[in-house]
Structure 1
């Protein structure tokens, strides 16, 4: 069972995911990695969320960055969104992630900052150890 599920909306986001994987590996945290678009494969995303035993999601997406919010709307587990830089330097993705409606919380780290997403996931996991 992976503690953290890292989901990218596109294969082009893999470099950001690699940063998160390294931090998790360095800290002995198990992870699973998927590329599932909220727009192009919504049924696959639904099935994955329903079957995943993970404790935290790291959702990495650019442009409209709907992936973190879609995941948060389908689970009560923590979701950490990572905006990916693009044509607007990631500002569009950042706003898409932080402007969630009440009751659908998504934590957000800086643009392309997969490292901090993993560090935040570790801190959340550590809450259950105390």
Structure 2
């Protein structure tokens, strides 16, 4: 089980740490790369080829502004690509729209603005279709999450 995490700039590191955190919690191997679809497209394609050769099974790609990175990656692979729109200009709506408005036949999944943790969890869900032990971990994660929520919120709330 391996997931590749791509993003276009060092300034995106803090946002993209959430994806790594989620993957670590489930024991999923990952590698992260700073590559730009616009500034180093050849290096991006070379790295994408290498990721596929190494048996990675899912890709998380974070991008802000025009947010072409997830779509460019999706156009060059059949691996599932999860886009993370990163807030920059226009409060992140430009990135969100760029990711969710992919042309027919080249899908990119999308999570909420700056929510790379959910991208990591979505990668876990995708991989759990193939790996039963991962599905068990995911079921337990959800059960524990619900129990924690109930415990923390079982009392009345004073407003």
What TM-score, normalized by structure 1, do the two folds share?
0.96
Residue among 76, 87, 90 paired with 1:88? 90
For residue 98 of structure 1, what is the aligned residue in structure 2? 100
| Deviating 4+ runs (over 2 angstroms) | none
1:3-51 CA distance string (max 9 Å, x none): 1000011111101111111111111011000000000000000101111
> Is 115-124 or 17-26 further displaced after alignment?
17-26
**SS of aligned partner of 1:128:** coil
Structure 1 residue 120 corresponds to structure 2 residue 122: yes
**SS of aligned partner of 1:60:** strand
Alignment coverage as a number of residue pairs: 129
The gaps in structure 2 that reach 5 residues or longer are 133-159
- Flag the structure with larger Rg: 2
More helix by share: 2
1:43-84 CA distance string (max 9 Å, x none): 000101111131100000000000000000000000000000
What TM-score, normalized by structure 2, do the two folds share?
0.79
> Is 82-91 or 67-76 further displaced after alignment?
82-91
Structure 1 residue 36 corresponds to structure 2 residue 35: yes
The gaps in structure 1 that reach 5 residues or longer are none
1:1-130 mapped onto 2 (5 Å cutoff):
3-52=2-51, 53=54, 54-130=56-132
CA RMSD of aligned residues (A): 0.9
CA distance in structure 1 between the partners assigned to 2:58 and 2:39 by the alignment: 23
